[in-house]
Amino acid sequence: MSHQSDLIAEDILAYLKEHENKELLRFLTCGSVDDGKSTLIGRLLHDSKMIYEDQLASIQSDSAKMGTTGEKLDLALLVDGLAAEREQGITIDVAYRYFSTNKRKFIIADTPGHEQYTRNMATGASTCDLAIILVDAREGVKTQTKRHSYIASLLGIRHVVVAVNKMDLINFDEAKYEAIKADYLEFAKELNIKDIQFVPMSALDGDNVVNRSEKSPWYDGKTLMEILETVEIADDQNFDDFRMPVQMVCRPNLDFRGFQGTIASGIINVGDEITVLPSGKSSKIKEIVTYDGNLDQAFAPMAVTLTFEDEIDCSRGDVIVKSDNLPQSAEKIDAHIVWMAEDALTPGKEYIIKHNTNSTTGRVSTLRHRVDVNTLEHKHAAQLALNEIGLCELTLSKPISFDDYQKNKGTGAFIIIDRLTNITVGAGMIHVSEKVESIDLDALTPVTQEEREARFGQTGSVILLSDEQANLASALERLLFNQGRAVAVIDEDSCGSDAAHNAAVAAQFAKAGLIAICALEAGFDKELIDSAFEGTSIVDVTAKGSPEETLKALLNSL
């Protein structure tokens, strides 16, 4: 849907040309349940005159039957199209709406607020430039507000508008608005969001959405629509690192061989020296071919055909880069994974990894930690369940060429596909650890026990096995290792038969945040335990019947 313009009647071709050249802004609305996300989108479309008369009549009719706003027009029904959404007054699936003003074109993604629909929210956010995070002025910053802010940050969204909604219900109290603003900014210090703006508004009544409200004379900032029309997104694109995944080789005749694809990032010029990965073969750009003719220069996100001066091997799945600016290549990568399937992500299971136009197989070799998106804490986990997010190490069957996701979305993202069902079960954002440029010794503080527990997702402890249980050490180590625990066995084979020495080693393991399984045929006397393990967590291993029952009880106690 487009904005009203006299050109539509006067010169339709001029209007279409004007519309074609407008900048496109993709944004999403998110936040806690009942914060007014769908109502806000309806208000944006209504006040900017983007709703057709028949749509408006239908909403007026439906508002009387199933609306939640009393006698007022329930604009949320414009985007809540599913029967279940209208019955419950909530958003379940991602709804997209398209509109434009005389300054910009927009694609809106209305995403769910419920925790169980986190995967839907992540899907909607993956292509957006800006996020509108709604906060109920009566409730303030809630857990779900933090959850969606973290996901927006993780997915590389650089612009966030915190819309403090339902201000009409608190009589546009400036003090409450400022308190919510301060609370959010304190939380946002932990996030990688560069641009945060705040708007006090009422989506239901339209205050400060499209038109400025007289109810908030103390607010001198922009309305929400003014922010959407003016926010600078051109600099968000990475023009420094040229990357073009090859989608297809174009060979219409014997005299032409070109490589087609959409430029993921960067700028390319005729004559630039390029390298094709993973082969490493180099050449120079001969032509940049498009439907409208050849160009001297192309940049992201243009779709082009490149020809080379030399005949080198290049095919679908390869990546064309500039020779003086190469991405990383490896078969082991770290990535944040958003899990989207009912069946949990299990380390060791083989999946298809689709990275740009390249597909390979791989598995999660290590689940480093699960992120509690409500508190941002790192927690130990043996697997990732539906809607959970974790930092994982993946081992691939062949190397891929990649960049850090925060630096380059185009080459830093991938999806995980189940090999049997061919269903997309996860989305990954590659994380590359920063290189150490300098070290400030004065700024380094001792590692705390809390930090160790956060890193390993466990409490450092010692498991003392009796003489009769010594044969369970290897099995226990395997079970804990399969859970992703940092664990080691201290026994006569690894450390000798000196009980005091082994006790000291085990105590140091525990202080370092690891789990030490102590098995010594000669056993440990009480005096030695009291002296060696003072201040150390000792796990009681009381026989629970059969060896299997003992191990089960022990695992459940850790």
Q: What is the dihedral of CA 51, 57, 59, 62, to 10 degrees?
A: -170
pLDDT at residue 236, as a whole number: 82
Q: Do residues 423 and 341 touch, judged by C-beta distance below 8 A? A: yes
**Binding-site residue positions:** 31-38, 110-114, 165-168
pLDDT at residue 543, as a whole number: 58
Q: Do residues 381 and 390 touch, judged by C-beta distance below 8 A? A: yes
What pLDDT, in 10s, does the model give residues 84-123? 433 444 444 567 788 788 888 888 887 765 566 677 778 8
Mean pLDDT of 20-28: 83
518: pLDDT strictly greater than 60: yes
Most confident of the following: 307-311, 507-511, 516-520: 307-311
pLDDT at residue 83, as a whole number: 40
pLDDT at residue 439, as a whole number: 73
What are the beta bridge partners of residue 336? 391, 429
Mean pLDDT of 54-75: 57
Q: Do residues 237 and 267 touch, judged by C-beta distance below 8 A? A: no
Mean pLDDT of 360-375: 87
Taking CA atoms, 158 is separated from 28, 128, 131, 349, in Å, by: 13, 9, 8, 34
pLDDT at residue 530, as a whole number: 63
220: pLDDT strictly greater than 50: yes
pLDDT at residue 397, as a whole number: 92
**Binding-site residue positions for GTP:** 31-38, 110-114, 165-168
pLDDT at residue 159, as a whole number: 93
What pLDDT, in 10s, does the model give residues 323-346? 999 999 999 999 999 998 889 998
What pLDDT, in 10s, does the model give residues 120-134? 778 878 888 999 998
How confident is the prediction for the chain on average, in pLDDT? 81
Angle at the Cα of 539 (from 537 to 541), degrees rounded to 5?
165
pLDDT at residue 82, as a whole number: 40
Q: Do residues 93 and 112 touch, judged by C-beta distance below 8 A? A: yes
Q: Minimum mean pLDDT among 10-14, 153-157, 279-283: which range?
A: 10-14
Q: Do residues 349 and 395 touch, judged by C-beta distance below 8 A? A: no
172: pLDDT strictly greater than 90: yes
| Residue whose entry in the numeric block shows the structure tokens 């150490």 | 436
pLDDT at residue 288, as a whole number: 94
Q: Do residues 416 and 427 touch, judged by C-beta distance below 8 A? A: yes
pLDDT at residue 183, as a whole number: 93
Q: How confident is the model at residue 276 (pLDDT cuts 50, 70, 90)?
A: very high
Mean pLDDT of 287-303: 91
What are the beta bridge partners of residue 428? 337, 414
Mean pLDDT of 431-450: 75
Q: Specify the amino acid at residue 22.
A: K
248: pLDDT strictly greater than 70: yes
Q: Do residues 321 and 265 touch, judged by C-beta distance below 8 A? A: no
pLDDT at residue 1, as a whole number: 43
| Residue whose entry in the numeric block shows the structure tokens 């899907």 | 123
Q: How confident is the model at residue 233 (pLDDT cuts 50, 70, 90)?
A: confident
Q: What percent of the chain has pLDDT over 70?
A: 79
Mean pLDDT of 271-291: 93
Mean pLDDT of 283-302: 92
pLDDT at residue 170, as a whole number: 93
pLDDT at residue 259, as a whole number: 95
